[in-house]
Amino acid sequence: MSRFHAPIAEQIWDMKYRFKDGDGVAIDGSVEDSWRRVARSLAEVEGDKAKWEGEFYQALEDFKFLPAGRIAAGAGTGRAVTLFNCFVMGTVPDTMSGIFEALKEAALTMQQGGGIGYDFSTIRPRGAEVKGVAADASGPLSFMDVWDAMCRTIMSAGSRRGAMMAVMRCDHPDVLSFIEAKRDPARLRMFNLSVLVTDPFMEAVKADAPWDLVFGGKVYNTVQARDLWNKIMRSTYDYAEPGVIFIDRINKMNNLGYAETIAATNPCGEQPLPPYGACLLGSINLARLVPEPFTANAAMDMEALDKLVRTAVRMMDNVVDASNFPLPEQEAEAIAKRRIGLGVTGLADALLMLGQRYGSEEAAQVTEGWMKAIARSAYLASVDLAKEKGAFPLFDAEGYLASGNMMQMDEDVREAVAAHGIRNALLTSVAPTGTISLYAGNVSSGIEPVFAYAYSRKVLQKDGSRTEEEVVDYAVKLWRDKFGDAPLPDYFVNAQTLAPLEHVRMQAAAQKWIDSSISKTINCPEDISFDAFQEVYMAAWDQGCKGCTTYRPNDVTGSVLTVSAPAPAAAPAKAETATETEVVYLTEPLDRPAALDGQTYKVKWPGSEHALYITINDVVINGRPRPFEVFINSKNMEHFAWTVALTRMISAVFRRGGDISFVVEELKAVFDPRGGAWMEGKYIPSILAAIGGVIERHLISIGFIEGEGLGLKTDPKAVVVAIGGAPKGQSCPSCGGFEMRKVEGCMTCASCGHSKCG
């Protein structure tokens, strides 16, 4: 019997976490093989390897402990990838050479698959004097544009693109431009943006006091704090960005306040980190720890929770020693502090199993109790590790115990830390878990409410037929299995029906016992008033949250997934002829027919002796052509290796289906540091960009896209249109479906689980 609770779970495992060789042949024969691979790898640093491999396997079995995707995909493969999820890079120097050295470090980190965060407040504002060159500074946003272009050209390890977070202090002279940067729909698309909000600023907002914008001790401008706050709120109301990070609160609560100052977070905000800070993530699946769900005896198994947390802490501590790091500075930082981020997923499902209404005061109290129990188990487990293996190198008992977080800890935990030290400087964090939650059977993600009880996804088969699958929330499936078609009780609520302040209540309840932070999106209805919207952020501040991120669907940000009312138990999937025109993806790559139609294009790069010949062949599915393969040929032997590699990679993408127009975007964004060339009256930044232009023109000629710049992401202002159909909205770059929604700061596909940063 399969361990997977839903077909989508097995598909995600196969696509993201299953170990395969370079030719795509599976090495992990089953998910048990994947669990065994990870368990064996993380037990390598132990004295009794066999014992701990067994313990680790039991924690992973049946999706009870879910290490983040980097660990699940990379541990035990022998590949030179980082197992850490996120990094905050070094402080950006306010010099041209320093800025571009920081850019290089970012590229190396993203190449290995790490998401990165940067504080751009250290760069002098636009118009400031640059001594010695008789010029004015271009400002931090101009350099953010350079980072954005870099991110477009770097593909992270595996199938994930790197994600980036940019933050700016609320007192930087360019903060107004930063706040409004995404009003230009083509700008900074690779970044999440957040403003670093200080305690004095919030006091000034409440007092309607003046606020100085300062750099290097010089006051550049003075504004009313409330006016600046309103600009942040208005931009977030209209464009879903920037988020807000309460940076002083983060530093006051930080266990390591005596040894570091935090000025930025990772891309999704759950990890405030110092320069070169790195963190690895993992989640306890609370939905697997409630025996007898939907009965009077339903309760969290606290003994099992304690054991699982203690095992997970040991596993994650071992990752610090098992992982590669993109930069030596990141490795040194990780080893000096041994920071981990153990969180939860399936919280909302677990509450439902107990008959609790997510967002209620009682559910918030239950949540706070669970999170405190996790914190106690994690800290005591780390103390035990310190007895066995030693405390983290920068441990100082006096400074550590004086932190805001440790001051609220139970006295027995404080005494244990004082007596023995602690192995890991920080231990808890709640990360986005969109993909691993689907992998675990579509449990509710992180501490979020259930987003949708059920939705349908269509999968195109190799014969051109289409099957329709129902993806059901884990708790809803358990209810159906137990009670059949009985209607869901009133306490079943979801993200669409919750009041925003109920979201805040749950975030605040969890935050009290999380020593890092929480990635959470507060869903707001489209018709929420601006005043009510602002109240959400003030409530987050007043209730002790470390940050706040909202999502209000509108014409600019797009709408959330459309869901229907809960259906009765799912009927068997049926095949039907694909007569509609939306982009679809394939369960398996298409087999190659014996003959294909296509076109060959000649590209003569200026200055090159030999031309490139690009052949694109198409396959017809349900009467409509789509690209199937590409061949790139040249007599120039210097081109041989990369043209063969490009041929194989692009063809593999084409055969997987979906909206493959992102290939055009990636190629057209590549620039050659030696300079581009003018071709047919246009400046082309590289020969790869020229190839991208050829592919784009071919896609237009066969009707796959409507015109130049109308691919998946090349022009964010364009609405993606299915040929012959109505405007659809944002398309998923992985499966091509039109069910993208913002979850915990990341655009996430409800059909396939694709997430830019999760």
pTM of the model: 0.77
Q: Which pLDDT belongs to residue 372? A: 98
DSSP strand pairing (65-67 vs 86-88) = unpaired
Give me the residue label for tokens 């800070």.
Answer: 277
Active-site residue identified among 53, 241, 260, 270 = 270
Q: What is the pLDDT of residues 333-382, one digit of tens each?
A: 999 999 999 999 999 999 999 999 999 999 999 999 999 999 999 999 99
Alpha carbons within 13 angstroms on the beta-carbon side of residue 447 total: 31
Segments of the chain scoring below 70 in pLDDT: 1, 113, 132-134, 154-162, 457-467, 554-591, 622-623, 656-659, 673, 706, 708-758
> Helices 49-60 and 31-42: crossing angle, nearest 10°?
140
Burial of 230 (0-12, 13-18, 19+ CB in 10 A): middle
Q: Which pLDDT belongs to residue 716? A: 33
CA distance 191 to 587: 31
Active-site residue identified among 86, 151, 268, 752 = 268
The residues near 461 (Cβ < 8 Å, ≥ 6 apart) are: 467, 575, 586, 587
Q: Which pLDDT belongs to residue 395? A: 98
Q: Which pLDDT belongs to residue 674? A: 72
Domain assignments of the chain as residue spans, ordered by start: 597-727
Give the three-class secondary structure for 523.
strand
Burial of 370 (0-12, 13-18, 19+ CB in 10 A): buried
Q: Amino acid identity of 452?
A: A
Which phi-psi region, left, alpha or beta, contains residue 232 (left: φ > 0; alpha: ψ -120 to 50)?
A: alpha
b/e sequence 384-410, b meaning 16+ C-beta within 10 Å: bbbeeeebbebbeeeebeebebbeebe
DSSP designation for 731: P
- Nearest-CA neighbor of 373 among 416, 402, 342, 346? 342
Q: 221 an active-site residue?
A: no
Q: Which pLDDT belongs to residue 290? A: 97
- Nearest-CA neighbor of 197 among 243, 141, 266, 258? 243
Active-site residue identified among 85, 251, 266, 494 = 266
Q: Which pLDDT belongs to residue 740? A: 64
Q: Which pLDDT belongs to residue 158? A: 38
3-state secondary structure 476-510: HHHHHHHHCCCCCCCCCCCCCCCCHHHHHHHHHHH
Return phi, psi of residue 665, to 5°.
-60, -45
Q: Which pLDDT belongs to residue 439? A: 92
Q: Amino acid identity of 380?
A: L
Assigned token pair, 116: 């990165």
CA distance 383 to 516: 18
Q: 268 an active-site residue?
A: yes
Q: Where are the alpha helices (DSSP H) in 43-81?
A: 49-60, 69-74
Q: 545 an active-site residue?
A: no
Assigned token pair, 222: 């003075």
Give me the residue label for tokens 């600023």.
Answer: 201
Task: Work out the number of other CB atoms within 10 angstroms of the CB of residue 432.
Answer: 32
